[in-house]
């Protein structure tokens, strides 16, 4: 197995049970490493990874390790693209065995070393758990840390790419991403577009890259009576409501969305917009809404659990996601499962989800095109029942596929030192 700057003599402990033992009936012990999980200050973050981990935990033994960078408090230095905070070692999430931990860093400055420092923090935790395999979601720094730690323990490592950890990489991040993809035993992507990017942009070997698309919780995301949802949420029953669900960051296309919606609202007094989520742009939004003259037309319910998200989608005429970059935008699948048509930027795996019978694709960073598509979607005659019926892949399906990938990697791996 190829490592990340490690030689065979860095293996510090024997490999846990061989694949034949696991296949014989002993559950696999999988260490799942990811920084992308719901946390109290950002409930929408990483819901899909939480669901994958929870479903996988129903099939085998899984411990989820949640790495968090503990940033030094320095004037003028803070993360700019995401809400930052820490959860303590006692933090829990439903349905998973969770172990949060921290390691030190400096925003921007420690980017090149976060993977190595993260590996030093992770290694003793993995050694205590004694996994058969390490599965890491988020390529750098956490996939890098997981790969280094797994090699020290002599176990295989799978890394999973989720979106911007492939599509938005440059400089040292791109270099280290390439090293992780080259060293991992297998790479999981959530769309064929991401698989192609991993291969063509970062040189991953095609045989090692497998696409496992996300699922949805159909018990939560299903058609709801729109009038009842609007009455519950305080939305005008006659409104033409557009909903956005996601992080409040510029790269999600929020500036373009406000421009496009303002143009629609100037012509249509029934137009309304709901922005469901939270993020670093939250403080800017009131001024932006006032500047566009749409503050009375926009709902800001905040970040929500899945049921709340589904209720807002159920109340809406159209969901939009005008991102600059995506992997496999799960909220788009959730909206379609709710019978809600979508207007989505044609990036990443969006084109693998959106068809002419469930939505419209638009070029990213083009507010005029977004305006036209939203206006068209709001008045189109959609077969909402048919679109909802087309989305049935659940998280159990994702877990089965993921466990199959783990078993294949273990079957191909050789015990350390052999």
| Number of domains, the chain | 2
* Mean pLDDT in residue range 93-112: 89
pLDDT at residue 416 in the model: 47
> Is 282 strand, coil or helix?
coil
Whether residue 221 lies inside any domain: the answer is: no
Query: Which residue range(s) make up the domain with 269?
Result: 226-389
Whether residue 2 lies inside any domain: the answer is: no
Q: How far is CA 49 from CA 44, 52, 57, 162, 403, in A?
A: 11, 5, 12, 9, 14
Longest dimension (CA), the chain: 72
pLDDT digits (tens, 9 = 90+) for 295-324: 999 999 998 989 999 999 999 999 999 999
Query: Are residues 160 and 18 located together in one domain of the fold?
Result: yes
CA dist., res. 387 & res. 36, Å (int): 29
CA dist., res. 135 & res. 147, Å (int): 9
Whether residue 115 lies inside any domain: the answer is: yes
Residue 371 has pLDDT above 60, yes or no: yes
CA dist., res. 108 & res. 279, Å (int): 19
- Rounded to the nearest angstrom, the gap between the alpha carbon of residue 114 and the centroid of all alpha carbons in its chain is 20
Instruction: Name, in order, each residue with C-beta under 8 angstroms of 25's C-beta and a sequence gap of 6 or more.
Output: none
What are the phi and psi torsion angles at 31 (to 5°)? -95, 115
CA dist., res. 289 & res. 120, Å (int): 45
Instruction: For CA atoms 225, 339, 310, 344, give the dihedral sign.
Output: negative
Query: Are residues 53 and 144 located together in one domain of the fold?
Result: yes
**Percent of the chain clearing pLDDT 90 (strictly above):** 75
**Where does the pLDDT of residue 90 fall: very low under 50, low under 70, confident under 90, or very high at 90 and above?**
very high
CA dist., res. 340 & res. 311, Å (int): 11
Query: Are residues 64 and 182 located together in one domain of the fold?
Result: yes
Instruction: Name, in order, each residue with C-beta under 8 angstroms of 20's C-beta and a sequence gap of 6 or more.
Output: none
Q: Which of 256, 294, 291, 290 is nearest to 274 (CA)?
A: 294
CA dist., res. 294 & res. 370, Å (int): 17
pLDDT at residue 49 in the model: 95
Query: Are residues 248 and 373 located together in one domain of the fold?
Result: yes
Instruction: Name, in order, each residue with C-beta under 8 angstroms of 344's C-beta and a sequence gap of 6 or more.
Output: 320, 321, 322, 323, 329, 332, 350, 353, 354, 359, 360, 361, 362
Whether residue 189 lies inside any domain: the answer is: yes
Whether residue 30 lies inside any domain: the answer is: yes
> Is 225 strand, coil or helix?
coil
CA dist., res. 93 & res. 188, Å (int): 24
Other CB atoms within 10 Å distance of the CB of residue 209: 21
Query: Are residues 195 and 122 located together in one domain of the fold?
Result: yes
Query: Are residues 118 and 13 located together in one domain of the fold?
Result: yes
Q: How many residues does the chain have?
A: 418
**Where does the pLDDT of residue 97 fall: very low under 50, low under 70, confident under 90, or very high at 90 and above?**
very high
Whether residue 12 lies inside any domain: the answer is: yes
pLDDT digits (tens, 9 = 90+) for 180-217: 999 999 999 999 999 999 999 999 999 999 999 999 99
Residue 418 has pLDDT above 80, yes or no: no
Query: Are residues 243 and 265 located together in one domain of the fold?
Result: yes
Instruction: Name, in order, each residue with C-beta under 8 angstroms of 366's C-beta and a sequence gap of 6 or more.
Output: 256
What are the phi and psi torsion angles at 33 (to 5°)? -115, 125
**Where does the pLDDT of residue 274 fall: very low under 50, low under 70, confident under 90, or very high at 90 and above?**
very high
Q: Give 345 or 44, the one with higher predicted confidence.
A: 345
Q: Give 134 or 161, the one with higher predicted confidence.
A: 134
- Among 29-43, 123-137, 264-278, 393-407, where is mean pLDDT lowest? 29-43
pLDDT digits (tens, 9 = 90+) for 26-37: 789 999 999 999
**CATH assignment of the domain containing 201:** 3.40.50.2000
In sequence order, what DSSP letters do the residues of 15-30 get, joined into one string?
--S-HHHHHTTPPPEE
Please check whether residue 185 is in contact with residue 413, taking contact to mean a CB–CB distance below 8 angstroms.
Answer: yes
pLDDT at residue 16 in the model: 37
CA dist., res. 256 & res. 284, Å (int): 14
State the burial class of residue 296 (Cβ atoms within 10 Å of its Cβ: 0-12, 13-18, 19+).
exposed
Query: Are residues 403 and 380 located together in one domain of the fold?
Result: no
pLDDT at residue 172 in the model: 79
Query: Are residues 146 and 98 located together in one domain of the fold?
Result: yes
Whether residue 78 lies inside any domain: the answer is: yes
Query: Are residues 208 and 340 located together in one domain of the fold?
Result: no
Query: Are residues 318 and 248 located together in one domain of the fold?
Result: yes
Query: Are residues 182 and 202 located together in one domain of the fold?
Result: yes
| Assigned token pair, 116 | 């190595």
pLDDT at residue 111 in the model: 78
Whether residue 248 lies inside any domain: the answer is: yes
pTM: 0.82
């Amino acid at each position: 197995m190829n490592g990340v700057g490690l030689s065979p003599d860095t293996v510090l402990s024997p490999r846990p049970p061989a694949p034949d033992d696991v296949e014989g009936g002993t559950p696999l012990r999988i260490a799942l490493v990811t920084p992308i999980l719901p946390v109290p200050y950002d409930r929408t973050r990483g819901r899909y990874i939480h669901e994958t981990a929870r479903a996988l935990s129903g099939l085998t033994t899984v411990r989820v390790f949640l790495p968090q960078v503990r940033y030094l408090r320095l004037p003028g230095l803070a993360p700019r693209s995401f809400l930052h905070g820490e959860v303590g070692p006692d933090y829990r999430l439903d349905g998973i065995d969770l172990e949060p931990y921290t390691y030190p860093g400096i925003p921007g400055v420690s980017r090149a070393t976060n993977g190595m420092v993260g590996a030093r923090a992770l290694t003793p935790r993995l050694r205590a758990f004694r996994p058969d395999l390490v599965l890491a979601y988020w390529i750098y720094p956490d996939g890098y840390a997981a790969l280094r730690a797994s090699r020290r323990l002599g176990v295989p490592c799978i890394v999973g790419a989720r979106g911007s950890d492939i599509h938005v990489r440059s400089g040292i991040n791109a270099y280290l991403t390439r090293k992780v993809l080259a060293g991992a035993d297998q790479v999981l992507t959530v769309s064929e577009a991401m698989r192609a990017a991993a291969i063509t942009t970062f040189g991953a070997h095609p045989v090692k890259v497998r696409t496992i698309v996300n699922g949805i919780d159909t018990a939560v995301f299903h058609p709801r009576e729109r009038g009842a949802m609007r009455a519950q949420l305080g939305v005008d029953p006659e409104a033409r409501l557009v909903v956005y669900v996601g992080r409040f960051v510029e790269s999600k296309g929020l500036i373009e969305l406000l421009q496009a919606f303002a143009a629609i609202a100037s012509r249509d007094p029934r137009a309304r917009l709901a922005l469901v989520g939270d993020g670093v742009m939250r403080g800017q939004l009131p001024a932006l809404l006032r500047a566009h003259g749409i503050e009375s037309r926009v709902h800001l319910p905040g970040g929500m659990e899945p049921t709340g998200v589904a209720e807002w989608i159920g109340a809406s005429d159209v969901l939009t996601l005008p991102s600059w970059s995506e992997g496999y935008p799960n909220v788009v699948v959730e909206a379609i499962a709710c019978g809600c048509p979508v207007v989505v930027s044609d990036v990443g795996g969006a084109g693998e989800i959106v068809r002419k019978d469930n939505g419209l694709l638009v070029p990213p960073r083009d507010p005029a095109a977004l305006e036209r598509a939203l206006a068209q979607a709001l008045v189109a005659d959609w077969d909402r029942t048919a679109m909802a019926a087309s989305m049935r892949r659940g998280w159990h399906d994702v877990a089965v596929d993921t466990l199959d990938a783990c078993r294949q990697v273990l079957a191909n791996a050789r015990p350390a030192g052999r």
